Amino acid sequence: MKNIGLILLILSIILFASFHLFSFNNKSIITQQQCISKSDDLNETRRRNYDSSSLKPIIFIGGMPRSGTTLMRAILDSHPSVRCGEETRVIPRMLSMRAAWKKSTIEWNRLLSGGMTESILDSAVRAFVYEILIHHSQSADILCDKDPFVIKYSSYVSSLFPNSKFLLLIRDGRAVIHSVMTRKVTITGFSLTDYRQNLKIWNKGMETMYEECEQIGPDRCQMVYYEQLVLQPKKTIGNILKFLNISWVDSVLHHEEFIGKKISLSKTEHSTDQVIKPINLEALTKWFSHIPAHVKRDVDSLAPMLKRLGYDTISDAPTYGTADPFVLENMNRLKNNADFWKNQTKMYARQIPTRVN
């Protein structure tokens, strides 16, 4: 009887242990399945987010530096449905890196042989650009990026974001060069003393951007002349909003009222102290009488894009058009409140960052 009792006790212990072991294994399997399911759901969510990002309406503002890109983005930033923000500076570098990979046959083949297909790279670039834009500033219905040199990659970016649109800012190259040199804007390739070299660099960059814009077509890329933007802002901005399928609001004519509120400006950008003012004509003709005689003589060979874009290269003081009453009133405001705007300019004067906060 003692042996039978011991055997029954041992059997009971074995059965009890087996039951709990079976129950634990089942729970473990269920937990693993739940984890796998959650992981799959997360991956699917991420995939949908990345895929949907390509369908988001995004505006890309570009052009040669000193061509009015900051003013253009400030105008759009004053619209309640749009958010551009300051230059990201990283997006054009990422696009440049991807272009360099594709341009180098050896490097591109290395990537492909390592399993990095073009589709994977494009998906990664799309996710990178979208992630930067979505977290760059305040949320809005329409995202916008103002990185001047992004326009050099318009055809590629347009393939990543099929619902994106591009604004190419165009300005008289002589005015651009004068602004670069007098405001001491450091741009790779440009000189602070050599007009001839600068016109060649401007011409090369402008030609690339112009042809990229033409390649994706007028339905995706609109060329905006700086001169018309400041001379006839109501008409020009109206055409831009129509192109972007954005409703008109009067706030787009008064971007200066939103500086420091909806519109943030970086003091490291050269245009900040100019954009704080209402749309005006102050910078339109500053370059007149400052181009050296030997440069004027050879301007058509140094920068043939000037004629191609429709600029008068013969006159020393070309006429860009007539200013509308709204701009003339802004000029009076600036004149009658000169001290106020002078202080504002000092407040937003460019600062070179010396440390990282």
- Helix and strand numbers (H, E) in the chain are 16, 5
> pLDDT at residue 238 above 90?
yes
pTM: 0.82
Does the annotation mark 207 as catalytic?
no
Strand partners, 169: 63, 224
State how far the alpha carbon of 316 is from the alpha carbons of 19, 182, 203, 286, in Å: 97, 19, 19, 12
- CA distances (Å), 299 to each of 258, 262, 304, 315, 343, in order? 40, 42, 8, 12, 38
Give the pLDDT of residue 357.
41
How far, in Å, CA of 170 to CA of 177, rounded?
A: 13
- As its CATH architecture, domain 58-348 has 3-Layer(aba) Sandwich (3.40)
CB 338 within 8 A of CB 247: no
The β-bridge partners of 302 are none
Amino acid at 347: M
DSSP string, 126-147: HHHHHHHHHHHSS--SEEEEE-
At 17, the pLDDT band (50, 70, 90 cuts) reads low
Catalytic residue among 86, 87, 212, 256: 87
Q: What does the alpha-carbon distance between residue 198 and residue 191 come to, in Å, rounded to a whole number?
A: 6
Q: What is the pLDDT of residue 354?
A: 47
More confident residue, 274 or 45: 274
Cα 122 off chain centre by:
18
- Which tens digit of pLDDT belongs to each residue from 268-326? 777 778 899 999 999 999 999 999 999 999 999 999 999 999 999 999 899 999 999 99
